[in-house]
Amino acid sequence: MRIKEVIVVEGRDDTVKIHLAVDADTIETNGSAVNKDTLQQIQHAQTKRGVIVFTDPDYPGQRIRAIINEHVPGCKHAFLKKDEARAKNNKGIGIEHASVQSIQKALQDVYELNELYETDITKSDLIQFGLIGGPRASYRRNRLNQFLQIGHTNGKQLLKRLTMFQITHKQFEEAIKHIIQEENNDH
């Protein structure tokens, strides 16, 4: 599979793994120390070919994503679930630990973030379905984020992330039904 856009990853090991999964060019941020030169390189790539930000599903990965989003608007984003990116010995999380198939799927399901999109999902919906303020809110949010492939969020970030990824109320409801069905099957 050939990817037209340049994929932004955190390091050399990620680049090696990406090249095993797809034919693509990468830019490495060298971890969370995203400097001005790297941001200029990403901006140039975004102008010429487009960019897919594909960072690790952890706090530093989210931080890098936010920095890039702030300086280079309009990038696409690919996400891995934490369990897909966990090292076999459980001593790390990163793209370099993911399977080729997981990487290919994540790159097929890229999102374009849109700050201007208005959603019909409300904070009341989040409360009603136990995604914020309830005893299982963190677990349900995690399942929702995995099901919709929008990356890890806390309660405050969830509505903004659903909006940025242009998740419709119908998609939201389908995901919630799936999560509730899972919970009912577990009991």
pLDDT digits (tens, 9 = 90+) for 66-90: 899 889 988 999 988 888 888 888 7
Residue 8 phi/psi, 5° resolution? Answer: -95, 120
Q: Average per-residue pLDDT in the chain?
A: 89
What's the rounded mean pLDDT across residues 158-186?
87
122 has a pLDDT exceeding 80 = yes
Strand partners, 33: none
Contact 81, 146 (CB under 8 A): yes
Residue 82 phi/psi, 5° resolution? Answer: -55, -40
129-162 tens-digit pLDDT: 999 988 889 999 989 988 887 877 888 889 888 8
Q: What is the pTM of this model?
A: 0.68
Question: Of the CATH numbers 3.40.640.10, 2.40.170.20, 3.30.720.200, 3.40.1360.10, which one belongs to the domain with range 6-112?
Answer: 3.40.1360.10
- Give me the pLDDT at residue 89, please: 83
The single-letter DSSP state of residue 108 is H
User: Could you tell me where the DSSP H helices lie in 29-168?
Assistant: 36-48, 59-71, 100-108, 123-128, 137-148, 155-164
Q: What percent of the chain has pLDDT over 70?
A: 96
87-120 tens-digit pLDDT: 888 788 899 999 999 999 999 888 776 555 667 8
N-term to C-term CA, the chain:
41
33, amino acid identity:
A
